[in-house]
């Protein structure tokens, strides 16, 4: 703890800090140009997303997470695939990368809470950050793997025509 604050302020910063941080990053990432988000292929170990299905049962719980992509003007809602057009699917893939990076950035901001908290509260704040962001990161990676598999199918079928 580098900054000694009254308990009321510490509580306020801890309770308001994560939502302000998350919403602020969400808004900021929405304003960044889509061209900045060029995801590469996922790891082989992810098995085109199947590892998330087998090990985490991600299909059962992924739809329970909030989708803040459409909350801001110019954002991109990722709750459901609305079109099978390859251009739309490619944009969806980019947007999953945008969302994943936003959640990684939120996690990277966790040390800010170290400024005014004792070590035990730091552990709680990091634990909350992981619990709030890791599921979203995993869903973004899972969806991106599925969408990239769909794009590969498009390219393969186009090659046969």
CA 39 to chain centre: 13
Rounded to a whole number, what is the distance in angstroms from the first to the last CA of the chain? 64
Which ranges of the chain have pLDDT less than 50?
Answer: none
> What is d(CA 67, CA 85) in angstroms, rounded to the nearest whole number?
22
> Which residues have C-beta within 8 Å of that of residue 35, sequence separation ≥ 6?
none
Do residues 98 and 34 touch, judged by C-beta distance below 8 A?
A: yes
pLDDT tens digits, one per residue of 80-99: 888 889 999 999 999 999 99
Q: Is the pTM of this model over 0.85?
A: yes
pLDDT tens digits, one per residue of 99-119: 999 999 999 999 999 999 999
């Amino acid at each position: 703890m580098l900054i000694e604050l009254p308990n009321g302020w510490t509580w306020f910063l801890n309770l308001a800090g994560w939502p302000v941080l998350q919403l602020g990053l969400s808004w900021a990432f929405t304003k960044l140009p889509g061209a900045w988000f060029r995801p590469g292929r996922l790891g082989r170990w992810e098995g085109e997303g199947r590892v998330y299905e087998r090990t985490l049962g991600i299909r059962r719980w992924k739809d329970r997470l909030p989708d803040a992509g459409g909350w801001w003007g110019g954002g991109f809602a990722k709750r459901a695939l609305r079109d099978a057009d390859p251009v739309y699917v490619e944009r969806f893939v980019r947007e999953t990368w945008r969302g994943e990076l936003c959640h990684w950035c939120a996690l990277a901001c966790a040390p800010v809470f170290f400024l005014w908290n004792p070590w035990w509260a730091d552990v709680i704040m990091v634990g909350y950050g992981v619990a709030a962001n890791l599921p979203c990161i995993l869903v973004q990676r899972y969806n991106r793997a599925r969408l990239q598999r769909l794009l590969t199918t498009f390219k393969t079928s186009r090659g046969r025509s």
